[in-house]
Amino acid sequence: MKTFLFLLGLWISCTFCVQAQNLPVPEEAWPACTPARKGARILFIGNSYTFFNRMPAMVMAMADIRGLQADVHIHAAPAASFSSHWNDEEAGKKLTGNSWDFVVLQDQSATPVIAPERTLEFGKKLCSLVRSGNGIPVLFLTWGRKGSSNAPDKGEQEALRDTYLKLARQEKAALAPVGIAWENCAKLHPDIKLYLEDGQHPSEQGSYLTACVMYCTLFGKSPVGLPGKLTLKGVRLCNIPQAKAKTLQTIALETCKRLFTTPAGAGKKPEGRR
């Protein structure tokens, strides 16, 4: 919490701050997590929204650039859901056979909208399993399908937010506000294309924005100033013009700062391994 308040005082981009006044401020505490330590072990569990454009590797590359040396792993499959991961023997082995500081959990994109009870049921089981290993579950709040003006469909995004937020508060899990950042990006910069032509999967820019939100959420640090061109172990991950990368970084930072600033009287953030 102190990290984000400190960043708020340092922020000097006046133009964006004027625009950012229109971004939502939570009425209740947004579930944040204890910032990851150097060398933290992080597992991403999800589907194509997670593995497209090698987003977890982008997070690892960002951490490496800042000297955080995160150990990032992924277990994902097309269209996988919380329930399919719960019943997947390999996913179970990945979760229980290793010691993770954080596990990022992403449900199938439509399930929290059309069957929220399944997200809550199997999300609870996965969060409990993560906590049994002393890890911190981090829920990946995804984006709705593309609606007007390149923005997530308003109804879908509200349903996604409500379901993930309910699960996070019930299970005392952290919540990465990716879909909220996508909404803010579409509102402030509708020219930035976050979606592929199918109107669902992320473009390279969409995955980069997602990685910036994950970096803010997991490490409690600003992504502003990171390069738009990322590589990991010699493999190219993305090549975004630096000016556009800074815009995406700023949106991620402003989204997280506003959501993770606890209102007066709100509950404490969830605790876990430091």
Residues present in the chain in total? 274
140-174 residue pLDDT tens: 999 999 998 889 999 999 999 999 999 999 999 99
Q: What is the pLDDT of residue 266?
A: 36
* Burial (0-12, 13-18, 19+ Cβ within 10 Å), 232: middle
Nearest CA among 73, 72, 92 for reference residue 82: 92
Q: Are strands 174-176 and 136-140 parallel, antiparallel or unpaired?
A: parallel
Q: How far is it, in rounded angstroms, from Cα 18 to Cα 67?
A: 32
Banded model confidence at residue 10, pLDDT cuts 50, 70, 90 = very low
80-102 residue pLDDT tens: 999 999 999 999 999 988 899 99
Banded model confidence at residue 9, pLDDT cuts 50, 70, 90 = very low
> CATH top-level class for 34-260?
alpha beta
* φ, ψ at 230 (rounded to 5°): -115, 140
Higher pLDDT, 10 or 55: 55
Q: What is the pLDDT of residue 174?
A: 97
Rounded to 10°, the helix 55-65/204-219 angle is 50
242-268 residue pLDDT tens: 999 999 999 999 999 999 974 433 334
Q: What is the pLDDT of residue 134?
A: 94
Nearest CA among 167, 199, 160, 163 for reference residue 181: 160
Q: What is the pLDDT of residue 27?
A: 54
Domain ranges of the chain: 34-260
Q: How far is it, in rounded angstroms, from Cα 260 to Cα 5?
A: 9
Q: What is the pLDDT of residue 33?
A: 87
pTM confidence score: 0.87
Q: How far is it, in rounded angstroms, from Cα 180 to Cα 255?
A: 7
Is pLDDT above 50 for 119?
yes
